Structure 1
Amino acid sequence: MVTSSSLLLQFSNQMKSKGLLILISIRMVIGWIGVVASVLNFGKPPFYIAFGFTLYFFITSFLGKHFLQNKQTNPIGNRWIMLFLGIDFIVLLFGFCLSIFAHPEGMKALPIQNSIFFSLFFLYQLTISFFLHRTFSIVMGIIVSCGYLSGIFFAHQLGVEIDYGYQLSPQGPNRVVFVLEILKVILLIAKTICIVKLVSFLLDILENNNQKLANELNERESSLIQTDRLVTLGSLASNVAHEIKNPLAGILSMVNFLLEEERRYLTNREPLWKEKEERIIWKHRTKKQKREELDVILQLFSFLPRNDAFYLADRCIDLGIDYKSFEGMGAEEGRDWEFVFAWLKYKTMENANLLISNSIHRTEKVISTFQQFSKPFQNTEKEVVRIGDGLRDILILYSQYLAMNRNLSTEIDDRLEAYVNEPAIKLVWSHLIYNAIQATPHKSGEIHVKVFRNDENQIEVNFMDNGIGIPSHLQSSIFQPFFTTKEKGEGIGLGLFICKNIINDQAGTIHFHSEPGKTIFCVCLPETKRMDHGLDE
C-alpha cells in the first residue's frame, strides 16, 4: 500500500531529478559557450583549452542524462552529485588558470577582464542551492572566490601588472586594477549570500508545505485504513449475520410447531369440566396479591359456558393467573380440573411463544439491516418502499441508546412511498440519526424525526436536534469528503459526503440549517405510488 512517507519520498526524488536535468542543461550551455570560444580562438593556443573544455562538458552531460534516466527507480545519493559538481568547479578553475597561461605575453589580463565565469557560477549556485545542499553552495562560493583571487596572482606571476591604487585607472591587456577585481569578488560573495538566503526562504516554505502535506496524508491514510477495516468488518458482520439468521428461523419454526402440536392435542381431547370453579377460586383468595384478580375471575365464571375451557384459560392468562397458581390443589381436585389446567398451561406457553417470536423477528430485522449496510452500493436496484418503515428499522438499531441518553420524538406519515434503493437510503437515515446522537448532549439531548409531504408534493424527512450546531464558517464545506467537525477519532468525514451522493442518485436533495442549539437536516425525495411502477399493495 502506498503511504504518505513513500509519496513524499517519491515527490522529493522527482524534484531532485528535475533539478539534475536543469543542471545538465546548464552544463550544456557551458559546453556551447566552449564551442563559441573554440571558433573564436581557432588556430590560437586558447583553442585547445576551449575545445577540451567543450568536450568535457558535452560528454559528461550526455552520460549524466543517460545515467539519470536509468536511475528513476533507484535515486542518486547527494554525495555522488556533490562530488561530481566539485569536479566541475575544479575543472572551471583549472580552465580559468589555463586560459591565463595560454594567452600570449602582454595579453594575459584579458581572461580576467573578460571572464564569463561569474554568470556561469551564478546559474550553478542557484541550481545547487535549491536542489541539493545550502552548506555545499556556501563552500563552493568560498572556493570559487579564493580560486579567482588565486588566478589574479597567478597572472601577476606571469607578468601581468596589478594596480593597487585607490584611484581607478583604465585596465589594459596586461594590466589589472585590483580594486575592480576585488569588487567582482565582493559581488560574487554578495550574489552567493543572496542566493542562499533566497533559497533558504523558499526551502523553508517548501518544507512547511511538505510537512503540512505529510500530516494531511497521514490523516487520510489513517482514515482510509479505518475505512478499510470497517469494510472488512462489515463483510464479516454480513457473514456472521447470515449464520445467525438461519438458526433463528429454525428456532421460530420449531417453537410454532410445538405450540401448534400442543393445541391440536388439546383440541382433540374431551373436556373434563366440573362445577368446582368457585371452590378453586375461594381456596386461593387468601393470597392478598391475587384477591382483586380472583374477584374478577369469580364474576367472570358466572357468565362463562360450562364447556368453554379455552376461553376460561385465555381470560386467566390476561389477568395474570397461570397454571402455577393452582399447584396447591389436592390430587383428586387436580384430576377433575386436569383439562382446564392443560389449557392454562397452553396459554402460558402461547404467551411465551409470542415473546420469543417478537424477539426473533426484531433480531432478524436488525440483522437484515446490518446485512444491507454491509453492501449498500452493490445492489443498485430500486423499489417502491415506505419511507416510514425504513426509518423505524434504523430507529430500532439506536432505540436502546436513545432511550438511555436522549429524548426521541417522531412524526411519521406512513402513507408516503418513494422509488429508491432501500439499503442505500437506510444508510442515509443511519448516518443522519447517528450524527444527531453525537451532536446532542447526554441526558438532555432532544432528537425529532418528521416525515411529511411538503408544499412541492415531495416527501420531506427532517432530522432536528438541539446540539451545538455547525459553525457558520464551516457550513460550506460540510459535504466535502474527509471534512469533519467532530473530535479526532470520532469521525473520518465521509458520512455526509456519502449521504449527498446517495440522495443525488435517488433524484432527491439534501440541505441543512444550523445555528447554536438547533440543527435541521432535510432530505427531499420525489413521492411515488406503487401503481406508478406496476406494483400492488
Structure 2
Amino acid sequence: TLVELGVCEDIEPFLPLLRDPEGHEILETAYQLTSIIKSTQTISTATDRAAKIVFALKSYSRQTPSGQKVETNVIESLETVLTIYHNQLKQGVEVIKNYPETLPNIWGYPDELNQVWTNLIHNAIQAMDNKGTLTIDITQSKNDICVSITDSGAGIPLEVQSKIFQPLFTTKPPGEGSGLGLDIVRKIIEKHQGKIDFDSVPGKTTFTVSLPLST
C-alpha cells in the first residue's frame, strides 16, 4: 500500500503506522484520498485540454469581418491547428517547434491561413502513417515570414512531384483524397501575395510557405 501511495524508499518513519492495529485502515483511507486527488488532477487536465480545444475551434472558425485582411499572428494560427490535432499527434508523432522569440504580425485572412496549416499538417501526419517527427520552423527575413513544415515520411515520388499542385491530382487511395487540398493551399497563399515551395526526398519532405510582412 505504501508503494501505491508513492512511498518507495525511506519507509522508516512509517513503521509505527504499520505496527498500529488501525494502521491498515488509515493507509486504506490515505490511498482512497490519493486516488481521488489523482482523479481530480486528471479531470482538471482534461478540462484544461477541452477548454483549449474549444478555444482553438472558435479561433479556427472565426471569419474575417467584411472579407478584409486583418493583423494575423502566424504562431497563434499554427498553434490553433496543432491544438485541434493534439490527440492525433500524441499517438506517435513528435512535434518539434522552432519559433523565434518575437514575430511581427502579418496582414492576412486568419481563417484561410488556418486551412493552409490544416492541410499541410494533415498531409504530413498521413505521410508518416501517424508515426514520426513533425518539425515546424518559422523564420523572418526583411520582407517575409517563412513557415516550413517538415515530416519524416516516405517522401513524394519524383515522378509526381510536378503534379501535386494540380487540381484533382492526389496520390492517396480512392476515397481518401479529393485532390483539391494543395490546389486550394496554393490559391490561398497567392491571395496573400506569398508563395509555397517544397522539397522531398525519402525520409524528409518540407513545404515552405512565404508570406509578406506588409501588403
Do they superpose with TM above 0.5?
Answer: yes
More helix by share: 1
Shift, 1:360, TM fit? 5.1
State the Cα deviation string for residues 105-163 of structure 1 (Å, max 9, x = none): xxxxxxxxxxxxxxxxxxxxxxxxxxxxxxxxxxxxxxxxxxxxxxxxxxxxxxxxxxx
Match of 2:195 among 488, 500, 509: 509
Whether the 8 Å contact between 1:461 and 1:524 is mirrored in structure 2 is: yes
Whether the 8 Å contact between 2:88 and 2:130 is mirrored in structure 1 is: no
Which residues of 2 match residues 186-201 of structure 1 at below 5 A? none
- 1:397 paired residue number: 84
Shift, 1:359, TM fit? 4.1
Judged with a 3 Å threshold, the aligned counterparts in structure 2 of structure 1 residues 473 and 414 are, in CA distance, closer, same or farther, namely: same
Determine if the alignment matches structure 1 residue 424 to structure 2 residue 112: yes
Shift, 1:382, TM fit? 1.6
**Take 2:51 and 2:44, find their aligned partners in 1: how far apart are those partners?**
10
Determine if the alignment matches structure 1 residue 452 to structure 2 residue 139: yes
Structure 2 residue runs of 5 or longer lacking an equivalent are 14-28, 31-40
Match of 2:176 among 475, 483, 490: 490
State the Cα deviation string for residues 27-52 of structure 1 (Å, max 9, x = none): xxxxxxxxxxxxxxxxxxxxxxxxxx
Judged with a 3 Å threshold, the aligned counterparts in structure 2 of structure 1 residues 398 and 355 are, in CA distance, closer, same or farther, namely: closer
Whether the 8 Å contact between 1:388 and 1:413 is mirrored in structure 2 is: no
More strand by share: 2
Determine if the alignment matches structure 1 residue 477 to structure 2 residue 188: no
Structure 1 residue runs of 5 or longer lacking an equivalent are 1-286, 296-323, 326-350, 533-537
**Take 2:100 and 2:162, find their aligned partners in 1: how far apart are those partners?**
31
Letter in 2 for 1:523: V
Instruction: Report SS of the residue matched to 1:394.
Output: helix
Whether the 8 Å contact between 1:408 and 1:448 is mirrored in structure 2 is: yes
- 2:26 paired residue number: none
Shift, 1:457, TM fit? 3.7
Whether the 8 Å contact between 1:405 and 1:442 is mirrored in structure 2 is: yes
**Take 2:7 and 2:69, find their aligned partners in 1: how far apart are those partners?**
56
Which residues of 2 match residues 112-191 of structure 1 at below 5 A? none
Whether the 8 Å contact between 2:151 and 2:204 is mirrored in structure 1 is: yes
Instruction: Report SS of the residue matched to 2:61.
Output: helix
Whether the 8 Å contact between 1:428 and 1:499 is mirrored in structure 2 is: yes
Judged with a 3 Å threshold, the aligned counterparts in structure 2 of structure 1 residues 352 and 400 are, in CA distance, closer, same or farther, namely: closer
Structure 1 length-normalised TM: 0.31
Instruction: Report SS of the residue matched to 1:474.
Output: helix
**Take 2:43 and 2:125, find their aligned partners in 1: how far apart are those partners?**
34
Judged with a 3 Å threshold, the aligned counterparts in structure 2 of structure 1 residues 399 and 352 are, in CA distance, closer, same or farther, namely: closer
Letter in 1 for 2:125: I
Determine if the alignment matches structure 1 residue 439 to structure 2 residue 127: yes
Letter in 1 for 2:85: Y
Whether the 8 Å contact between 2:53 and 2:84 is mirrored in structure 1 is: no
Instruction: Report SS of the residue matched to 2:166.
Output: coil
Shift, 1:289, TM fit? 4.0
**Take 1:359 and 1:518, find their aligned partners in 2: how far apart are those partners?**
31
State the Cα deviation string for residues 301-343 of structure 1 (Å, max 9, x = none): xxxxxxxxxxxxxxxxxxxxxxx96xxxxxxxxxxxxxxxxxx
Q: Which moved more, 1:412-421 or 1:510-519?
A: 412-421
Whether the 8 Å contact between 2:91 and 2:130 is mirrored in structure 1 is: no
Letter in 1 for 2:56: V
Structure 2 length-normalised TM: 0.73
Shift, 1:414, TM fit? 5.1
Instruction: Report SS of the residue matched to 2:85.
Output: helix
Which residues of 2 match residues 367-382 of structure 1 at below 5 A? 367-369=57-59, 371-372=61-62, 380-382=67-69
Determine if the alignment matches structure 1 residue 358 to structure 2 residue 56: no
Instruction: Report SS of the residue matched to 2:176.
Output: coil
**Take 1:423 and 1:364, find their aligned partners in 2: how far apart are those partners?**
16
**Take 1:353 and 1:514, find their aligned partners in 2: how far apart are those partners?**
42
Higher Rg of the two aligned structures: 1
State the Cα deviation string for residues 449-506 of structure 1 (Å, max 9, x = none): 111114x541000011121222222222211111111121210100111111111111
Shift, 1:515, TM fit? 1.8
Instruction: Report SS of the residue matched to 2:134.
Output: strand
- 2:75 paired residue number: 388
Q: What percent identity do the matched residue pairs reach? A: 31
Whether the 8 Å contact between 2:77 and 2:114 is mirrored in structure 1 is: yes
Whether the 8 Å contact between 2:64 and 2:110 is mirrored in structure 1 is: no
Which residues of 2 match residues 205-224 of structure 1 at below 5 A? none
Whether the 8 Å contact between 2:98 and 2:137 is mirrored in structure 1 is: yes
Instruction: Report SS of the residue matched to 1:497.
Output: helix
Shift, 1:371, TM fit? 2.7
State the Cα deviation string for residues 269-308 of structure 1 (Å, max 9, x = none): xxxxxxxxxxxxxxxxxx994998xx9xxxxxxxxxxxxx
